[in-house]
Amino acid sequence: MSIRHYTPRRRARGGASPLLIKVMGVALAATVLMQILYPLVDGGFLGVITIASVYTAALTMFLHGIAAYGARYGWTMLGITVSFGFFIEQLGVTTSWPFGEYTYSDTLGPKIFSVPLVVPFAWVMIAHPCLVAARRIGKSWVFLYGALLMMAWDLFLDPLMVSAGRWTWVVKGTHVPFQPEIPLSNAFGWLLSGMLLMTLLHFLTPRDRRKVGGSLIAADLLLFWTWFSGVVGNLFFFGRPGIAGFSGLILGLLLAPYFFNRWVGRP
């Protein structure tokens, strides 16, 4: 008879440093502040905070990935998402597939070929919190739930950027409800590309959270803020109640099971 020693599987080595958590908090606060200022300013300053808020949001999600899942997750997620975002956007601008025919203006800063440098980092801003939610809810359907969240997120982002002249569409045929300036093919493109990206991230990044510093609060806050600010902004500042209602309903319904699970489920 032998005595077997059982060692529980570790989620991740160590924990996130307090400095990392503080920097993440500052970056998240800066993101929210700039998005609050967005409808209140114009001109060159509006352009600055448009670009800066994407970078701070991407930084927040990158640091959150490290804090919650470890450095290997953070760097792998960043590398895959930035590369994928640049590739799919370059494909879209060049071939009009899968999103439709569109072009970027010169107001989003320097470009690599036809894609502004900031755009792939917007994919990081969106992809990480959607993956977090999808892994919590989706189980074997992570790729679909995460992609639906990304598509719904863009229902707020795209009309805001188009109205500001950051990019323009050629609309042929059916458009997104309450968004005549954006073709329905854009929603299809986000769903299709989102499913591929979610699949890559789900299988190529660690899934176990750190024991120390593994809170999901930063991702939760960005998801909730995106929904809340999208509804309030379109309803009271941008004069587009149709978008507030339609996009708010879709993203709200998709986020409801995740936040309910976070409220009543496991830590």
User: Is 166 a member of any domain?
Assistant: yes
Signed CA dihedral, 216, 131, 262, 244: sign only: positive
Q: Within 10 A of 44 (CB to CB), how many other CB atoms are there?
A: 8
User: Is 69 a member of any domain?
Assistant: yes
Closest CA to 132 of 49, 178, 197, 69: 69
User: Is 239 a member of any domain?
Assistant: yes
Query: Which residue's entry shows tokens 């979610």?
Result: 198
| 15 confidence band (pLDDT: 50, 70, 90) | confident
User: Is 9 a member of any domain?
Assistant: no
User: Is 143 a member of any domain?
Assistant: yes
The per-residue pLDDT for range 116-152, each reduced to its tens digit, is 999 999 999 999 999 999 999 988 899 999 999 999 9
Range of the domain at 157: 18-264
Which pLDDT does position 14 carry in this prediction?
59
The per-residue pLDDT for range 228-260, each reduced to its tens digit, is 999 999 999 999 999 999 999 999 999 999 999
The whole-angstrom separation of Cα 147 and Cα 197 is: 8
User: Is 179 a member of any domain?
Assistant: yes
Q: pTM of the predicted model, to two decimals?
A: 0.93
Structural domain count of the chain: 1
Angle between helices 217-232 and 241-264 (to 10 degrees): 160
User: Is 6 a member of any domain?
Assistant: no
pLDDT at 30 over 70: yes
